[in-house]
Structure 1
Amino acid sequence: MPTPGFVVIAFAAAVAGGFVRGASGFGGSLVMMPLLSLMTSPKFIVAPVLLLEAFAVLPVLRHFIGRAQWRVVMPICIAAFVALPFGAWALVNADQSLIRRAIGVLVLVFSLALLAGVRHKAQPRVPTSIALGLLSGALLGGTGIGGPPVILYLLSSSAPSVDTRANLMVTVMAMSVAALIVLWMRGAFMIDGPMPLWILAPGYLFGILAGMRLFGLIDERRFRRATLGFLVVVSVVTLAV
């Protein structure tokens, strides 16, 4: 049975992840994975976090499916599906301290890249999309964080912002569901382990609702920079511990 302190810290991490997710539309796993990996092995965290991310997208998915650019989304998703089992194998078999540090490095690099305004300048092409999907799938299966490469790639598109958001939503949802299936097949679908959903789900839902409510009241640019600064600090702590 988790201790009261464990429950409070895990709940707070879920609230923080949900708040960022509700206010920005993405980033829940970026916040939760490094924080929660400080409390227990990453292999116990990936499935619960992916479930929360999938359920966060599900209610609005029907609004985005029709807007998604499938010629952009499909190569990424198919390549990610191919690479997911390799990442899941690493999650189950690799030293968990190495996985935790990989999470820290991934979050740190992505946060610094966004703070620096790094973008992929070229338009999406199939070979690039396939390479990106392979990378994202391996990262998602191994660390629970596969979105950063996709986000950087798709945000650079000249497509309307609504279409770009639809591409992101559909891609993340498809990859998350596929990752959950692969983790289940690998015996790593641990939603009742040391990091149970009954702790995370209420906090994540509360955070999402709070983030959505405050979205129109906060300066988006300042909020994003503050969030990225927070992620830099968290990832550095993850690497230092």
Structure 2
Amino acid sequence: MPDGLVAALVMPGIGWLVAAALAAGVVYGFAGFGAALIFMPVAARVATPEVAVAAFSVSAVGSAITMLPKTWPACDKRATGLMIAAAAVTMPLGVMLLTRLPEVPLRWAICIIVAITLAAVVSGWKLRLSDAAGPRLGIGAAAGVVGGSTGLLGPVVILVTLAGGGQAARMRANLATFLTTVTLVLLPALWWQGVLPPPVLWAGLILLPIYMAGTLIGQRLFQPGAERLYRGIAYAVVAGAVVLGLPV
């Protein structure tokens, strides 16, 4: 058995990471977002932010198989593509911050970002964007920095997408396509800056099939016409993750 796999199996808190990955997968398969919002606050209680971000990023590769083939045809390809391109450029800066900032402030940052995102969306705040490329590129760039430094690639994009309204199925497709694709782009940035040592890579591979199973379950639960249920369940689960992840 490889030494990295052995180290991953005895990693403190691996059981919590497994449970968080399953819950994150179910929410992601259902809502098209929220996986990192669920996983990162919980994982930050039992692992360093670097380990949590890297392990989750590896496990989230499964979404390219379980989600992307279904969400890509239904998404707004121009708007989503612009945000993906901008996020790819700025993510290395975010990863650099991840490797240099102290652990506790990062844990607080994770919870605060999630809480602000949730509060803004639940309050009914609305945002209308023009079709120009500039706003989409700015949103993607901000998401890249925040995601690279905290593992939360989604809050900026989630806030804008949900605040903009629209049908649940279309919002779900846009968010899932963006988040799945930028997670794949994040992996090389993590590896390049030394955040993917063998034990962490193996931990992510352990979580991968569990996360994939969760997304398949979540997809079966999604009902395109159940707008109120769609939002309510996602909000409730994310709020619970914030409470669990508070570094107190």
Structure 2 length-normalised TM: 0.82
SS of 2:246 mapped into structure 1: helix
Where does residue 154 of structure 2 map in the other structure?
147
Number of equivalences? 240
| Distance of 2:168 and 2:81 partners within structure 1 | 19
What's the counterpart of residue 4 of structure 2? none
Greater Cα offset, 100-109 or 149-158: 149-158
Q: Return 85-94 or 5-14, whichever deviates more.
A: 5-14
Distance 2:79 2:212 in 1: 30
CA distance in 2, matches of 1:30, 1:44: 16
Of 41-50 and 124-133, deviating more is 124-133
Residue 48 of structure 1: which of 45, 55, 58 is its match? 55
* % identical aligned pairs: 27
Distance 2:61 2:212 in 1: 12
Structure 2 match to 1:13:
20
Superposed displacement of residue 107, structure 1: 1.0
* 1:72 shift after superposition: 1.4
Q: CA deviation at 1:50?
A: 1.9
Counterpart check, 1:108 vs 2:104 = no
Residues 109 and 150, structure 2, Cα contact 8 Å, conserved in 1: yes
The yes-or-no answer on 1:234 pairing with 2:241 is yes
> Do the aligned partners of 1:115 and 1:225 also contact (CA within 8 Å) in 2?
no
The residue that corresponds to 2:127 in the other structure is 120
**Compared CA separation, residues 4 and 142, structure 1 to 2 (3 A):** closer
Q: Evaluate the alpha carbon distance shift between residue 158 and residue 34 of structure 1 in structure 2; reply closer, same or farther with a 3 A threshold.
A: closer
Distance 1:113 1:156, change over 3 A: closer
User: What does the per-residue CA deviation read over 1:97-153, in whole Å, with 9 as the maximum and x for residues that have no partner?
Assistant: 111111111111112222222232233432211221111000111111111211222
* Residue aligned with 1:196, SS: helix
The answer for the alignment partner of 1:90 in structure 2 is: 97
1:172 counterpart = 2:179: yes
Aligned to 1:99: 106
Pair 208,236 (structure 1): closer, same or farther in 2 beyond 3 Å: same
Q: Tell me which residue corresponds to 1:77.
A: 84
Provide closer, same or farther for how the CA distance between residues 155 and 230 of structure 1 changes in structure 2, counting only shifts above 3 A.
Answer: closer
Once residues 50 and 239 of structure 1 are traced to their aligned partners in structure 2, the CA distance between those partners, rounded to angstroms, is 21
CA separation of 1:8 and 1:62: change in aligned 2, threshold 3 A: closer
Q: CA RMSD in A?
A: 2.9
Shift of 1:195: 8.0
Write the distance in 2 (CA, Å) between the matches of 1:139 and 1:226.
Answer: 25
Moved more, 39-48 or 196-205: 196-205
Query: Aligned in 2, Cα 1:144/1:127: closer, same or farther, shift over 3 Å?
Result: same
For the 8 Å contact 1:52–1:201, the answer to whether it is kept is yes
Aligned counterparts of 2:180 and 2:244: Cα–Cα separation in 1: 29
Per-residue CA distance 1:64-100 (angstroms, 9 max, x = gap): 4444434312332222122111100011111111111
Task: Mark the runs of 5 or more structure 2 residues left unpaired by the alignment.
Answer: 1-6
User: Gaps (5+ residues) in structure 1?
Assistant: none
8 Å contact from structure 2 (residues 94, 147) kept in 1: yes
CA contact 2:126–2:164 (8 Å) conserved in 1? no
Judged with a 3 Å threshold, the aligned counterparts in structure 2 of structure 1 residues 146 and 124 are, in CA distance, closer, same or farther, namely: farther
Q: Distance in 2 between matches of 1:171 and 1:125?
A: 18
Q: Deviations over 1:176-211 (max 9, x none)?
A: 122111111111124623981354234323333333
